Amino acid sequence: MRAILFHIMFLLLTATPLFASQGESPGASVEPFKLGTFNVGGVQQIGIVLRDSLIVEMNSANAALEGDATYPAIPMPVDMLELIGRYEYGLKVRLYEIVNELVANNRLIGSLRPTYVHDVADVQTLAPILYPGKILNAAVNFYSHVNETGNPEERATARRARRE
């Protein structure tokens, strides 16, 4: 009986690391990154900003990563709103995988740099969310703020200007 328990415990202890390593996703990115919307060669797309100097085309980097059979296919978002909505549902891990693969294989500089990695100067930076659904208090509270900071004469002048 002891021999059977010993063998079962031995198998469980030796097999657990094998099962744990399968399907393991990165817990974090090896380098910090930012996300933005860019115009690359006339095409609007989401990019990953690395080292504040490089832009990685997210769709192309994902397609290259999916060329490796160990990475499942994950559809990329078309804009930042979709990315924000899906970030915690698989996109965060995929972004970590893209960044980690580029850094681990030294593909950000030199001859190994893929065509989907650009210098910031070579792309046009766009607003992150191009067509926001709401713009709250864009300038509504500006006059109120001016009124708070000025002396009585300045506040009276600001009120008169607002009425005109």
Distance CA 144, CA 158 (A): 9
- Alpha carbons within 13 angstroms on the beta-carbon side of residue 43 total 11
Give the pair of three-digit tokens for residue 23.
């399907």
Residue with tokens 């030796």: 14
* Partners of 119 in the β-ladder: 54
pLDDT for 4 equals 64
The burial of 8, by beta-carbon neighbours within 10 Å (0-12 exposed, 13-18 middle, 19 or more buried), is given as exposed
pLDDT for 161 equals 77
pLDDT for 114 equals 96
How much is the pTM?
Answer: 0.68
DSSP 31: S
pLDDT for 157 equals 81
Q: Along the 164 residues of the chain, how does pLDDT read in single tens digits? A: 666 655 466 555 555 444 433 345 678 999 999 999 999 999 999 999 999 999 999 999 999 999 999 999 999 999 999 999 999 998 999 999 999 999 999 999 999 999 999 999 999 999 998 888 777 766 655 656 655 667 788 878 877 877 76
